[in-house]
């Protein structure tokens, strides 16, 4: 048997050939860093002519300074912390991502860029326009991000460019060294742990780490840990508890990775073990939800003394999409689900699940990551200052009570006074906010009711509600027009003057000022921006008022109409008249003509004779039943009389108007009457009623003098005589009584 020990072993490669294998194996004892055993395993051992040769390759290992360099170079690209982690700043800038609700902002931003480009190309000064656009952009940004809906906050929390755990840690810590592995499996990159210092105070940091691009997201498993990640966090919790390091956890995960292998490796057991352990740790724990905190995957490192949330972060037991798919059978209902789940920072603070909100800049944390990190740093130090004042027992009890009180309630207890303060009575809707489409719809509906009423001979409508609504709308539009025309202040001052002064003591100057203001308003009303809406609503009010008058008159005539129809049927059923009508029909059929103009003279006379007999019998029947017939005028005579009546009424009204304009005293009294009526429109006092009656009496006396003029009186009497002659004794009551006010 050959003896290998007698032959010298030579090592070829980068090491000296004079070194023996036994020297290499002893190198770990004497401090020499030689070839690792794994490299020896890859060596080539084989028989050679002149003995046994061993060939080995030395693995190139990148040299790391541990834990921190004694004299770090401040000019190193990426800062001093670039020595400590493989997490480096991205070489390329992240691509901008615009969320759906942010598109209006992008339009404004594009306009600003276009104007700046135009200014650069033309050399013209567009600074005023740029400043104006920037102000609009800032205002729009503020309005948008101060009124975000829950689903919009969910989208911001999931933003691809949102800062990750390591981004924040490197911004807030002076020194940080990452610790790896759970000592039972592999190092899960979705959970990062390490020790760092803030202002010289040492903390144990752990959190979910998402990727900043697709490659990193695949490497980090999109921030969804396996059981090894939670066991790594558990190992660091024990380590921090043993050495007395306060723990800061960062939560940003859609949930634990729920694949088959993770379940086989005990995903649920790993999360449960973390929950149980965190409640027994003797060091302060602060958790910060910096993105989305999903289900047990977030809670596994979230059982803290204080749970803080970034302003646009969310914390939920099920994602809005999953909840919507379960309850409404479609993920499109996610906005509704997000609202019902109460997952935003504000809602969770009200429910006392979260203990505080860390502000974010407008546009989200990705708009200014450094500022956001500073706010997180301030929140961590303030919370730790408060918790480190507690003893161990008090700290454990504080953590236990925080979770024990969640969801607790007791029947019969009074409402929290703080909630009572926030309870507000529901405000009534302001007038002027009803769309033209709604108003037109209500008017059309009323017209349909009127048409149905005509067909069914019954009217059962209430137009008063719609008329009041339209009046409120019109008053609102008048107020808006006054604001736009700049005369609202003048109107208010004039109202104050009239309120102080008695109606009888109004001076001619005040009345003149009122007239001037009224004329100014009427002249400029057409230039008001809401003039179209005002005109439209006035036309609607006119239509509704006419419909109301028709409905009221029609309702009054229904009983009389029914009675007249009944009597007319009775007259036609009389045997003598019925026989005459039948004979007349037979004669008309024999003549072979269809219109009364084609009848011969004899047939026309017979038709008129039967018609007069029917009318006479009909009038007698009505008179006997208590219905008084005042006129038997034909259609032609009625139209003539009506034209003459309208002509006389118009002439009288014109004369009255001319007299009023030429009589200052009478005109002043009419203006006073209008003011008094408007002043006490809602609740008129007894004194106001008396003043109105006195003014009305004085105005009527002044108008009576006008009516007594010879020309008007003569025409009036002549028309009365004509009407009496035609109607068989009518008193001329068709003439309208003129309206003065």
DSSP string, 321-372: HHHHHHHSSSGGGHHHHHHHHT-BHHHHHHTTSS-EEE---TT-GGG-HHHH
Higher pLDDT: 617 or 38? It is 617
357 with 489, same domain: the answer is: no
Bond prior to 480 in cis (omega within 30° of 0): no
For the beta carbon of residue 117, count every other beta carbon within 10 angstroms.
11
* Structure token pair of residue 697: 């009496």
Residue 445's pLDDT is 72
pLDDT > 60? residue 54 = no
Give the residue from 35, 47, 33 showing the smallest Cα distance to 2: 47
Alpha-carbon distance of 680 to 675, in angstroms, equals 9
505 with 528, same domain: the answer is: yes
Distances in Å between the Cα of 243 and the Cα atoms of 219, 236, 387, 437 are: 32, 10, 17, 72
203 with 335, same domain: the answer is: yes
Mean pLDDT in residue range 346-356: 92
* 248 domain residue, yes or no: yes
Percent of all residues in the chain with a pLDDT value above 70, rounded to a whole number: 68
629: which DSSP letter?
P
Domain count, the chain: 4
Give the residue from 44, 20, 45 showing the smallest Cα distance to 34: 20
pLDDT > 80? residue 397 = yes
544 with 578, same domain: the answer is: no
173 with 139, same domain: the answer is: no
Give the predicted TM-score (pTM) of the model.
0.49
Residue 84's pLDDT is 47
102: which DSSP letter?
G
* 524 domain residue, yes or no: yes
Confidence of residue 589 (pLDDT cuts 50, 70, 90): confident
Least confident of 79-88, 278-287, 618-627, 654-663: 79-88
**Residue where the block lists tokens 């980068």:** 14
The residue range of the domain holding 592 is 574-625
Give the residue from 261, 250, 262, 390 showing the smallest Cα distance to 309: 250
Residue 679's pLDDT is 67
Distances in Å between the Cα of 337 and the Cα atoms of 251, 313, 589, 608, 703 are: 22, 16, 80, 81, 72
* E strand map for 138-263: 175-179, 191-198, 201-208, 247-253
Q: List pLDDT tens digits, range 286-344.
A: 999 999 998 899 999 999 999 999 999 999 999 999 999 999 988 889 999 999 999 99
Distances in Å between the Cα of 193 and the Cα atoms of 228, 315, 399, 483 are: 12, 21, 22, 63
Alpha-carbon distance of 596 to 606, in angstroms, equals 12
Half-sphere exposure of 231 (CA within 13 A, CB side): 18
* Structure token pair of residue 494: 């004039």
* 443 domain residue, yes or no: yes
* 53 domain residue, yes or no: no
Higher pLDDT: 710 or 521? It is 521
Distances in Å between the Cα of 269 and the Cα atoms of 303, 316, 335, 631 are: 16, 21, 33, 103
- Top mean-pLDDT range of 136-150, 347-361, 444-458, 647-661: 347-361
Residue 237's pLDDT is 96
Mean pLDDT in residue range 344-372: 92
Least confident of 575-584, 606-615, 652-661: 652-661
Alpha-carbon distance of 322 to 316, in angstroms, equals 11
396 with 481, same domain: the answer is: no
175-179 vs 191-198, strand pairing mode: antiparallel
Alpha-carbon distance of 200 to 175, in angstroms, equals 9
* 257 domain residue, yes or no: yes
Alpha-carbon distance of 287 to 299, in angstroms, equals 10
* Structure token pair of residue 111: 């306009």
Q: What is the three-class DSSP state of 72?
A: coil
Mean pLDDT in residue range 201-206: 95
Q: Residue 333 burial (CB < 10 Å; 0-12/13-18/19+)?
A: middle
Q: Is the torsion defined by CA of 364, 370, 371, 377 positive or negative?
A: positive
**Residue where the block lists tokens 């969310």:** 314
222 with 329, same domain: the answer is: yes
For the beta carbon of residue 677, count every other beta carbon within 10 angstroms.
14
pLDDT > 60? residue 429 = no
Mean pLDDT in residue range 628-634: 54
Residue 628's pLDDT is 63
339 with 442, same domain: the answer is: no
Alpha-carbon distance of 180 to 203, in angstroms, equals 16
The pLDDT mean for the chain works out to 75
Indicate the helix (H) or strand (E) that contains 609.
helix 601-624
> What is the phi/psi pair of residue 252, to 5°?
-160, 85
* 37 domain residue, yes or no: no
Residue 289 and residue 310 in contact, taking contact as beta carbons nearer than 8 Å: yes
- Among the candidates 124, 147, 170, a domain finishes at 147
For the beta carbon of residue 641, count every other beta carbon within 10 angstroms.
21
Residue 233's pLDDT is 95
Q: Where residue 250 sits, what CATH number does that domain have?
A: 3.90.226.10
258 with 200, same domain: the answer is: yes
Distances in Å between the Cα of 698 and the Cα atoms of 695, 702, 703 are: 5, 6, 9
Give the residue from 384, 358, 388, 66 showing the smallest Cα distance to 199: 384
127 with 165, same domain: the answer is: no
Residue 352 CB partners (closer than 8 Å, separation 6+): 405, 406
**Residue where the block lists tokens 């500022």:** 371
Q: What is the three-class DSSP state of 391?
A: coil
231 with 319, same domain: the answer is: yes
Alpha-carbon distance of 101 to 116, in angstroms, equals 25
Least confident of 180-184, 489-493, 531-535: 489-493
Residue 141's pLDDT is 86
**Residue where the block lists tokens 């290499």:** 24
* 587 domain residue, yes or no: yes
* E strand map for 187-269: 191-198, 201-208, 247-253
* 740 domain residue, yes or no: no
H helix and E strand count, the chain: 29, 11
215 with 282, same domain: the answer is: yes
Confidence of residue 154 (pLDDT cuts 50, 70, 90): very high
51-55 vs 175-179, strand pairing mode: unpaired
* E strand map for 260-395: 285-294, 306-310, 314-316, 356-358
């Amino acid at each position: 048997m050959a003896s290998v020990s007698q032959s010298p072993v030579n090592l070829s490669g980068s090491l000296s050939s004079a070194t023996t294998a036994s020297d290499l194996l002893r190198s770990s004892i004497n401090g020499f860093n030689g070839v690792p055993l794994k490299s020896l395993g890859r060596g080539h051992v084989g028989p050679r002519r002149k003995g046994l040769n061993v060939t080995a390759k030395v693995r190139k290992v990148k040299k790391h300074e541990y834990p921190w360099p004694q004299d770090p170079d401040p000019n190193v690209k990426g800062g001093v912390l670039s020595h400590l982690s493989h997490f480096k700043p991205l070489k390329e800038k992240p691509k901008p991502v615009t969320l759906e609700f942010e598109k209006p902002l992008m339009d404004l931003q594009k306009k600003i860029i276009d104007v700046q480009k135009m200014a650069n190309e033309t050399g013209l000064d567009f600074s005023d326009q740029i400043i104006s656009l920037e102000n609009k952009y800032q205002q729009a940004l503020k309005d948008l991000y101060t009124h975000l809906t829950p689903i919009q906050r969910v989208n911001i929390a999931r933003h691809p460019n949102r800062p990750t755990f390591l981004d924040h840690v490197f911004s807030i810590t002076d020194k940080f060294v990452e610790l790896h592995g759970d000592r039972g499996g592999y190092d899960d990159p979705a959970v990062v742990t390490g020790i760092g210092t803030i202002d010289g105070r040492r903390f144990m940091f752990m959190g979910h780490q998402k990727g900043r691009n697709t490659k990193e997201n695949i490497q980090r498993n999109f921030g969804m840990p396996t059981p090894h990640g939670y066991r790594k966090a558990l190992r660091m919790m024990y380590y921090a508890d043993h050495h007395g390091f306060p723990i800061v956890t960062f939560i940003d995960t859609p949930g634990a990775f729920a694949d088959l292998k993770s379940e086989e490796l005990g995903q649920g057991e790993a999360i449960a073990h973390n929950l149980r352990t965190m409640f027994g740790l003797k060091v302060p724990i602060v958790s910060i939800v910096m993105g989305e905190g999903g289900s047990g995957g977030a809670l596994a490192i979230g059982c803290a003394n204080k749970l803080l949330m970034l302003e646009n972060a969310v914390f939920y037991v099920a994602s809005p999409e999953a909840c919507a798919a379960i309850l409404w059978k479609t993920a499109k209902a996610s906005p509704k689900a997000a609202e019902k789940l109460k997952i935003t920072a504000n809602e969770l603070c009200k429910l006392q699940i979260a203990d505080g909100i860390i502000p974010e800049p407008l546009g989200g944390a990705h708009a200014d990551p450094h500022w956001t990190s500073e706010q997180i740093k301030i929140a961590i130090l303030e919370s730790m200052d408060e918790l480190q004042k507690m003893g161990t027992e008090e700290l454990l009890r504080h953590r236990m009570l925080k979770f024990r009180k969640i969801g607790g309630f007791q029947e019969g207890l009074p409402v929290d006074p703080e909630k009572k303060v926030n309870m507000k009575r529901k405000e009534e809707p302001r007038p002027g906010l009803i769309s033209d489409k709604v108003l037109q719809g209500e008017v059309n509906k009323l017209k349909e009711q009127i048409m149905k009423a005509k067909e069914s001979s019954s009217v059962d409508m209430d137009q008063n509600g719609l008329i009041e609504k339209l009046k409120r709308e019109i008053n609102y539009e008048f107020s808006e027009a006054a604001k736009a025309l700049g005369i609202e202040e003048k109107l208010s001052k004039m109202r104050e003057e009239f309120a102080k002064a008695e109606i009888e003591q109004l001076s001619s100057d005040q009345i003149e000022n009122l007239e001037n203001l009224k004329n100014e308003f009427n002249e400029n009303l057409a230039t008001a921006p809401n003039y179209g809406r005002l005109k439209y609503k006035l036309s609607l009010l006119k239509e509704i008022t006419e419909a109301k008058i028709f409905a009221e008159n029609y309702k009054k005539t229904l009983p009389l109409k029914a009675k007249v129809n009944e009597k007319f049927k009775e007259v036609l059923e009389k045997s003598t008249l019925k026989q005459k009508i039948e004979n007349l029909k037979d004669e008309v059929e024999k003549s072979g003509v269809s219109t009364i103009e084609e009848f011969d003279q004899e047939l026309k006379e017979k038709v008129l004779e039967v018609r007069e007999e029917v009318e006479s019998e009909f009038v007698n029947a009505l008179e006997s039943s208590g219905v008084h017939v005042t006129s038997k005028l034909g259609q032609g005579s009625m139209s003539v009389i009506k034209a003459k009546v309208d002509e006389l009424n118009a002439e009288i009204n014109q004369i009255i108007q001319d007299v009023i304009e030429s009589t200052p005293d009478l005109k002043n009294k009419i203006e006073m009457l209008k003011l008094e009526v408007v002043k006490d429109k809602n609740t008129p006092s007894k004194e106001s009623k008396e003043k109105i009656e006195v003014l009305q009496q004085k105005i009527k006396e002044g108008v009576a003098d006008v009516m007594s003029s010879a020309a008007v009186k003569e025409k009036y009497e002549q028309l009365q005589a004509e009407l009496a002659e035609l109607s068989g004794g009518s008193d001329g009551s068709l003439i309208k009584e003129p309206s003065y006010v």
